[in-house]
Amino acid sequence: MFLEPYQHGRRKGWMEVICGGMFSGKSEELIRRLRRVQIAGKTAEIFKPSIDTRYDAEHIISHNESRIRCTPVDSAGNILILASGVDVVGIDEAQFFDDGITEVVEKLMLNGTRVIVAGLDMDFSGRPFGAIPSLLARAEYITKLHAICVKCGDLAIYSYRKTKTADLVLLGEKDAYEPRCRSCFYEK
């Protein structure tokens, strides 16, 4: 699907962003692409923010229980240090990284690295989330995934928070969030 671009005999880097609401399959798609990288014999490093301990500290695990080993990091800058010289970098839950993630990804691409980023494009209130809009603006390839609305069965792009807390970051699963379409998200 994605051909590796070359320029003047040198590999060019690029970015793929996988975005959507909760339960849309973002981590599953990231894992699928990274497994193909491994099958192709390319070198890869995979990262997630260290605050994401929902399933496992050292694995990205999808809701369907697919998993791949990763390195949890406290800040985006650590990715640049740990990913030196690899062909592909995978980043899950990118919305939880500091704003430096955009610069880190840009440097990786300029060094010839393919970067695959997955993250929520909107927060629980329907606003753009973290650095994802900045990453989307710079990406060569964008995949927007959809969940299914639990209220009506239409395509869901929103992550409806079932709890009353106003904190921007609230790690949770089906106990705290559910996918909703636009109409059901805004209904009173």
The full set of domains in the chain, from first to last, is 6-145 (3.40.50.300)
Q: Is residue 2 scored above 50 in pLDDT?
A: no
> For 118-170, what is each residue's pLDDT tens digit?
999 999 999 999 999 999 999 999 999 999 999 999 999 999 988 777 666 65
pLDDT of 52 reads 72
Higher pLDDT, 182 or 66: 182
DSSP string covering 34-84, please? HHHHHHTT--EEEEEETT--SS-TTEEE-TT--EEE-EEESSHHHHHHHTT
The reply to whether 103 belongs to the active site is no
Percent of the chain with pLDDT over 90: 70
Higher pLDDT, 37 or 171: 37
Average pLDDT, the chain: 87
Q: Is residue 54 scored above 90 in pLDDT?
A: no
Pick the catalytic residue from 58, 93, 140, 173. Answer: 93
Strand ranges inside the chain, DSSP E: 6-7, 10-11, 14-20, 44-49, 59-61, 67-69, 71-73, 88-91, 114-120, 141-145, 147-148, 155-156, 158-161, 177-180
Range 62-69 average pLDDT: 72
How large is the greatest C-alpha to C-alpha distance in the chain, in angstroms?
Answer: 58
Q: Is residue 33 scored above 80 in pLDDT?
A: yes
Q: Is 173 helix (H, G, I), strand (E, B) or coil?
A: coil
The encoded tokens of residue 94 equal 């990118």
Please state the pTM of the whole predicted model. Answer: 0.87
Lowest model confidence (mean pLDDT) among 27-31, 67-71, 148-152: 67-71
